[in-house]
Amino acid sequence: MLKTLLSNKLRVFLGLVLVVLFATIRAYEDQLFYDPFLNYFKSDFNALPLPSYNPFHLLMGLLFRYGLNTILSLGLIYVLFRDSTMIKFASFLYAFFFVFFVSLFYTIIYFYGANNDMVLFYVRRFLIQPIFVILFIPAFYYQKLNN
């Protein structure tokens, strides 16, 4: 195993760089993205009304963050598997899930408001965190083993 690890030094290094970039996005989220829900969900949000926000700026902030996480995730998947078919499939899934979760996010805000804070919290979590890469890597690995 050590011999395999040493023969793939560049891949290991690139994988670590991508993971550090994920952490950097998380560390500087307040400065990089427009998201009034960051501080809202850090507080006792069950007792508070939803914060005021600009819907267009919020959408652009979510798109920018999701886009950065998607690019890093696709890079990590490529570094691990080196399969362009997986990248195309994952790209389609990322685009589909963005449209789905943004639609769900705004639907919850407009129709339910602060009544469904926990649902809003978890839908937003899928948009701002690289959760899909955590799901896709084991799935693609399992798929590769079965082929």
> What tens digit of pLDDT does each residue of 84-127 get?
999 999 999 999 999 999 999 999 998 887 677 888 889 999 99
Cα Rg for the chain, rounded, in angstroms? Answer: 18
Contact between 35 and 8 under an 8 Å Cβ cutoff? The reply is no
- Global pTM? 0.89
Distance CA 115, CA 109 (A): 9
Listed in sequence order, the DSSP H helices in 113-130 are: 117-128
In whole angstroms, how far apart are CA 33 and each of 13, 17, 86?
A: 28, 21, 29
pLDDT at 45: 74
The CB-based long-range contact list for 70-75 (8 Å cut-off, 24+ gap) reads 70/94, 70/98, 72/18, 72/21, 72/22, 72/25, 72/130, 72/133, 73/130, 73/132, 73/133, 73/136, 75/14, 75/18
The band of 5, judged by pLDDT with boundaries at 50, 70 and 90, is low
Contact between 118 and 83 under an 8 Å Cβ cutoff? The reply is no
